[in-house]
Structure 1
Amino acid sequence: MTILTETAEKIKNMEIRGAGRIARAAALALKEEATSIDTDDIGEFNRRMNDAYETLYNTRPTAVSLPNALRLVMRYRAATVEDARKAIISNADNFISNSQNAVKKIGQIGAKRIKDGDTILTHCNSSAAAAIVEAAFKQGKNINVIATETRPRQQGYVTVDIMQKIGVPTTLILDSAVRYFMKDVDIVVVGADAITVNGSLINKVGTSQIALAAHEARVNLIVAAETYKFSPKTLLGDLVEIEERDPSEVLSPEMHIKWPGLIVRNPAFDVTPHQYIDLIITELGAIPPEMAFWVITEKLGLELEDSATNIK
């Protein structure tokens, strides 16, 4: 199994989780594929890189960080294979480095929104959201985290593991207990799989219910999102596809046999309207959701949709 196919399989099966980690893994896989292709024919090289792009692109339909990363890595024009290879390697290295630096900046900026004594509610797992908590904790702030299990794949356990290693006092709760515990929460911090042009958030299913509970309790919700998680396609009217995963994640094969007529729906994400979001923390700074249009047009640019010049 090649690095490309192994990475694609891990992304599809959620061995690699989190929009940022998915994007960085995909960029690295394209880099490795470019390095391994043995041909002097630029046409053949472009075709094989395009196949690699498609393989990775089709793994997870919702996380916009994945296609954005792939397009940025594939942004090259070259007459020779050697020049194309160098460009892809450089693009991938730059993307990975910028992504990692973005997470650090988000942590530093977002930590300013955390006060000493705060209890922070998180959902799912996000490296950017975790960076905010870690930065606040390292500043000496006395904070606590409440983490949801995030069923059915228990991504909340990943968050708990990170918090335990850092040393942040953490409580694990059922997803369905969020409203019960909201009275103990000072601020909600979540990550993002995609941000639309109107500032709405696509994130792990259950996020919208948390946002509603936070709004009812007058608790601010902030989103940690690198700018490459904003979706240029939504500016052109496209909707972000909500991935539905295999029912076997929810119900065992034995239960399917017992209830053969049962329909199981397993959406991986939901949409939180921008009205329920206080701020989006990006590497550029803290912005209101309404500034998503500015991020897409001024910082990403519509050309991102066509930037991968060799994608057919």
Structure 2
Amino acid sequence: MPVAETAGKIKALEIQGATKVAVEAVKALAAELRELEWVEREEAVACLEDSIQVLVGSRPTEPLMRNGLRFVESRVLEARWSSPGELAEVVGAAEADFLGMLERAREDMVEVGARRIEDGDTVMTHCHSSAVTGTLLRAHERGVRFRVLQTETRPKYQGRITARELVEAGVDTTMIVDSAARYYMKEVDFVLVGCDAITSEGNVVNKIGTSQVALAAWEARIPFYVVTTLLKFDPATIRGGYEVIEERETAEIWENPPKGLKILNPAFDITRRDYIHGLITEEGIISPHSILEAIHRHYPWMLGGRPSLQG
């Protein structure tokens, strides 16, 4: 089953990165619904809701995935269909619309971010983000000569993914241990990181260690930018909800620890908006303080409206 298989891969980090997770989850949901044989509408809706729960449960801190699944769900619930063929048509259109929206947003924010990079710059980044990698590669393709300082990003070493992609493209890249970020901050012109979630206050949830990099940048008066689509906004935070921080298995840190040792392994942390110089988005570089206004302009459906093609 597409949903069960995809959820398993997301949980095991075989599929990682907020954008990739969202894309694969939406594709899996659409495939699951297209595979339905003739059932009553109520049964199809139950399958839809069960599938969404399975996918959402695979990675708690992924509002982009939740927003994509909600987009498809709303289209299915609003549409008039009475056969598997009609349902498949509705699902296919919703899938294409959301993925197209996401691709346009990514193209716009990568373009904005690439313009920020100039000859001679040293850019620090943390973890692996397809948006950040895309931004750096876009600037490199245009002949901009710059250097990247990449943290290794323990305990799963996702920084190696970014480093490999950059080195293979010919970008001057140096890897450092996570704890050396503050030491090397004096060499940096600005920091670029990705994002898993944006709250209504303009705070950003990203890979554990991001907030420490942000604090080091703030102390050194180095601009700290977050490359993100507005589609990663978590509407639940408007109503007082908190973004759940996923706790990973302790074996990722130490497979055979001494008896009695307690290990904590949060996957993400929260960077306060006060430490963020700007959000590099499809709208341009905006202040994290203005996130709600930007959502209203681009994706009002995330705030309760009909999920159509804004943006």
Q: TM-score, normalised by structure 2?
A: 0.93
Report how far residue 302 of structure 1 moved: 6.0
Counterpart AA for 1:154: Y
Distance 1:155 1:143 in 2: 22
Report the CA distance between 1:23 and its aligned residue: 0.5
* Equivalent position of 2:159 in the other structure: 156
User: 2: distance between equivalents of 1:249 and 1:17?
Assistant: 16
- Distance in 1, matches of 2:164 and 2:2, equals 27
Per the alignment, residue 176 of structure 2 pairs with 173
1:145 alignment partner in structure 2:
148
Gaps of 5+ in 1: none
Q: Distance in 2 between matches of 1:293 and 1:41?
A: 39
Find 1:192's aligned residue among 195, 217, 221.
Answer: 195
Aligned to 1:262: 261
Quote how far apart the aligned CAs of 1:108 are: 0.7
Give the letter aligned to residue 300 of structure 1. Answer: Y
Q: State the AA in 1 paired with 2:36.
A: I
Q: Give 1:80's aligned residue.
A: 82
Are the equivalent residues in 1 in contact too, given 2:124–2:149 (CA < 8 A)?
A: yes
Instruction: State the distance in 2 between where 1:245 and 1:305 align.
Output: 32
Instruction: Give the distance between the partners of 1:276 and 1:189, measured in 2 at CA.
Output: 13
Structure 1 equivalent of residue 31 of structure 2: 32
The answer for the alignment partner of 2:102 in structure 1 is 99
Name the CA distance, whole Å, in 2 between partners of 1:149 and 1:58: 27
- Structure 1 Cα separation of the partners of residues 133 and 302 of structure 2: 31
The letter for the 2-side match of 1:38 is E
CA contact (8 A) 2:283 2:294 kept: no
User: Aligned partners of 2:56 and 2:303: how far apart in 1?
Assistant: 15
Question: Could you list the per-position Cα deviations for residues 133-158 of structure 1 after superposition, in whole angstroms to 9, with x for gaps in the alignment?
Answer: 11111221111111111101111011
Question: Which residue does the alignment assign to 1:44?
Answer: 43
Q: Distance in 2 between matches of 1:125 and 1:92?
A: 25
The alignment covers a number of residue pairs equal to 303
1:235/1:302 CA distance change after superposition, 3 Å: farther
The residue aligned with 1:235 is 238
Of residues 38-47 and 192-201 in structure 1, the stretch that sits farther from structure 2 once superposed is 38-47
Instruction: Give, in whole Å, the separation in 1 of the partners of 2:216 and 2:120.
Output: 21
User: 1:97, CA displacement in angstroms?
Assistant: 2.3
1:226 aligns with 2:229: yes
Which fold has the larger relative contact order, with Cα–Cα distance below 8 Å and residues 6 or more apart in sequence?
Answer: 1
* 3-state DSSP of counterpart to 2:192: strand
**In 2, Cα distance between equivalents of 1:284 and 1:33:** 33
Distance 1:289 1:18 in 2: 21
Whole-angstrom CA distance in 2 between matches of 1:303 and 1:269: 23
Provide structure 2 residue ranges, at least 5 long, that are not aligned to the other structure. Answer: none
Q: After the TM superposition, which of the residue ranges 105-114 and 15-24 deviates more from structure 2?
A: 105-114
Any conservation in 2 of the 1:148–1:173 contact (CA below 8 Å)? yes
- For the 8 Å contact 2:67–2:302, the answer to whether it is kept is no
Residues 305 and 193 of structure 1: CA distance in aligned 2, closer, same or farther (over 3 Å): farther
Q: In structure 2, what residue type is equivalent to 1:299?
A: H
Runs of 4+ in 1 over 3 A off after TM superposition: 302-308
Partner of 1:202: 205
Which string of whole-angstrom CA distances, capped at 9 and with x for unpartnered residues, describes residues 224-244 of structure 1? 111110111111111111111
C-alpha contact 1:204 1:268 (8 A) present in aligned 2: yes
Q: Deviations over 1:177-220 (max 9, x none)?
A: 10111111111000000011121110000000000100111110
1:74–1:307 contact (8 Å) kept in structure 2:
no
SS of the equivalent of 2:224 reads strand
CA-CA distance at 1:300 after TM superposition: 2.7
AA aligned to 1:30 is L
Relative to structure 1, is the Cα distance of residues 41 and 102 closer, same or farther in structure 2, using a 3 angstrom cutoff? same
- Tell me what 1:67 maps to: 66
**Shift of residue 307, structure 1, vs aligned partner:** 6.2
Structure 2 CA distance for partners of 1:87 and 1:304, relative to 1, 3 Å = farther
Structure 2 Cα separation of the partners of residues 206 and 45 of structure 1: 42
Instruction: Give the CA deviation at 1:90.
Output: 1.1
Report if the CA contact (8 A) 1:122-1:147 is conserved: yes
How high is the TM-score relative to the length of structure 1?
A: 0.93
SS of 1:6's partner is helix
Contact 2:34 2:87 in 1 (8 A): no
Work out whether residues 102 and 226 of structure 1, in 8 Å CA contact, stay in contact via their aligned partners in 2.
Answer: yes
Q: CA deviation at 1:297?
A: 3.4
Moved more, 101-110 or 116-125: 101-110
Aligned partner letter, 2:106: V
